[in-house]
Amino acid sequence: MTTTIEPQLVRRAAQGDRTAVAMLLADVRPGLVRYCRAKLGRIGGAYTTADDVAQEICLAVLGALPRYREQGAPFSAFVYAIAGNKVADAQRAAVRAASVTADDPPPETPDAEPGPEQRAVATDLARRLSGLLDRLPDAQREIVVLRVAVGLTAEEVGTILGMSAAAVRVAQSRALARLRTLAGDTLDEVAA
């Protein structure tokens, strides 16, 4: 699903070419949104926080772009290094904010989103999947998120994590086998 970003496009964007910057951000943003949603999950049944963090990452990439220098690694390694830091910041902020509750007034208009039952089922499934991912070692969890949720190639993930593409594929295979074992029939209950 992922496309390799052309080094020439990155160079032009780093030099301030507005069209190249727009094209570059359009290329990386969908993967960043998927990455953030996979890493941060749903809060209150919506992806608002994950989408906001993805936007912060895009802004950080935009700010760091003039200082980017090609050093043999794909541009995606640069982007996901920034993403990893921003997601970690968001996770720390969420832990700090968890004890604070807001007394929001009731909405004035009916909600056009899925109903409570659909949200409950989706939230429960997301919670179960997140729980399963949390039971994987950190490296395997990161590989599954980058390969499956974001759609990066084994080579790109290997560059980001400092592994060979073959090692990424082996670790991914082991992680998915472990997830299958851990999941058992628990996820089938929701689908039925």
- What is the C-alpha radius of gyration for the chain, rounded to an integer number of angstroms? 19
Q: Name the domain count of the chain.
A: 1
CATH code of the domain in which 70 resides: 1.10.10.10
Give the model's pLDDT for residue 99. Answer: 54
Domain presence at residue 68: yes
Q: Which of 179, 91, 92 is nearest to 140 (CA)?
A: 179
Domain presence at residue 112: no
Domain containing residue 88: 7-97+117-186
Locate 121 and state its tokens: 């089922």
Per-residue pLDDT tens over the stretch 108-130: 776 677 777 777 777 777 778 88
Per-residue pLDDT tens over the stretch 56-111: 999 999 999 988 888 888 888 899 999 999 988 888 877 776 655 556 666 677 66
Domain presence at residue 105: no
Average pLDDT value over all residues in the chain: 82
Domain presence at residue 1: no
Residues in the chain: 192
Domain presence at residue 191: no
Domain presence at residue 192: no
**Which residues in 127-143 are b (16+ Cβ under 10 Å) and which e?**
eebeebbeebeeebbbb
Q: How far apart are CA 68 and CA 115, in angstroms?
A: 45
Cross-strand partners of 43: 46
Place of tokens 């073959």: 166
